[in-house]
Structure formats: C-alpha cells, structure tokens
Amino acid sequence: MTLKNRTIKVNKDKSLSKIHYGKKDIWWFFQWLKVCVDLEGSSIEFNKSKQKGGSYGSATGTTKQKIKITGWKEIDLKEIKSVKHHLEMTDKELFSYLNKMFNKYIHLFGDFTIKYIKSPKDLIEDNNYFTVQIPLSKNRVETDTELEKLRQIHKIPKSEKTRTISFYRPAKHKELNTLYKVWLRKNKDFEWGRKGNIKRLNNSEIARQVGYKGYRQVQLAYVSAKNLIVNMSKGLFPKNKL
C-alpha cells in the first residue's frame, strides 16, 4: 500500500493543512506508541539465533532488550503514560485515546503551512515556524514584501524540513492490526472455549482467533511485534525488523 498525499484543505478552525498520512496511519502510530510507553523501563526477551548443526540447529538461549524511549520528543509521553494501560483498555477507551492524540498532534504529521492563530494557546512551539502580526489593512503584495524583509533583517533561515514525524515505511493497517492482536493475546488473559474460560491463550488458539494457519505464524508475528516496539522506542515506526 502506498500512502496517498493529501491535498491542502481548510479545517473547521480555518487553518490550512497538508496531511501526508491518513487518520488510520496516525492512529496506529499512537496505538503502538502507547504499548511502547507502557513498557518503558522493562525488558523484552528474544531467542538468540540458532547454531548450525543437525537438521534444524539449536537455540543458544535468550537475550533481552530494555525499552528506553529516545525518540518522539515532540509528544508528551507522560500524558500517554497517565492513560490506562493498553492491556486494560476497552475498545471505547482505546478509541477515545487515539482520537484525542490525533486531534492534538495532527500537525506533526503534515507539511508546515501557514496557521491562523486565534489566541496565544494556539501557537506551536516549533523552530520551523516564526511568528508575526499582520495588520488587516495590508494587501497581499505589501504583506509578501514585508515578510521577506523580516526574514532578512532577523536572519531567519529557510528550513528544508517538511514533516516533524516521518514514518520509516508505509503503514500497512492489516499487518499492524494482526501484530497487535497477537501481542495482546500473548500478554493478557482471554475468554476461550464454549464455557468461556478466562486464560492465557497458547499459539494454536491464537492462530485460530487471528486467522493464521498454524502456530508458527503466531511465533513469527510475536517476534515482529516485539521488534516493532523496540524500534518504536528508538524513533522508528513501523519497522518490525531489528
């Protein structure tokens, strides 16, 4: 799937925006960021690569990766941490969290465009913006001329940067959804069977629930999910290979 470039549009607040990522792309970003934030300080265990020998080789033990978030400094991670843990969220609570993050941080995912400031609280703290006040009496030609003079007088450089947050590769919704389902089922208890027993599911049971043909696919997906979280902590999304 290729991400379509959204054209400039006028939002309800009369601001211009040029969005390069769809709403679901940004939702998935914040869904996996929530997982990463909830796990910060803990370690994720991986199997070491297998040694050659015999028909299949043998595993050489495990290794651990400690989750320490070094990316996403433009986002208030403490606020995300304060939200209920992702393993305890209902679908309604997750939707509320994602919608809130989307509305608050949508500007980080689009190209920088002129923004109408109705009050000081609307100002964006970003070095890629400079703030001016334009008299209503000024026409277009005078405004353009004086803005360029302001740039020169105050030595305001032009930035080559476009988006504050850029994805490592296009977000594949089906893939991210399946990895998240596997992650949840490997880390929390689920209802299973005709009697509705609550338990931690095994790989075969997870495969049936997420639509995989066998437990091996679950194992590979779980490794991909863990890789995704480790890479997310380093400022890379959605990369599911180390």
120 preceded by cis ω (within 30°)? no
- What mean pLDDT comes out for the span 173-198? 87
pLDDT of residue 58: 54
- Per DSSP, the three-state class of 58 is strand
From 130-134, 141-145, 159-163, the region with the lowest mean pLDDT: 159-163
Distance between CA atoms of residues 242 and 228, nearest Å: 8
pLDDT of residue 5: 42
Among 60, 64, 59, which residue's Cα sits nearest to residue 46?
64
pLDDT of residue 199: 82
Token pair listed for 74: 């433009």
Rg (CA), the chain: 23
Most trustworthy range by pLDDT among 60-64, 114-118, 230-234: 230-234
Cα of 44 vs its chain's centroid, Å: 19
For residue 44, report the phi and psi dihedrals to the nearest 5 degrees: -105, 130
Q: How many CA atoms lie within 13 A of 155 on its CB side?
A: 0
> Which residues, including other chains, have CB under 8 Å from residue 95's CB and lie 6 or more apart?
none
Mean of per-residue pLDDT scores for the chain: 84
Among 235, 239, 241, which residue's Cα sits nearest to residue 69?
235
From 8-22, 93-107, 143-157, 207-221, the region with the lowest mean pLDDT: 8-22
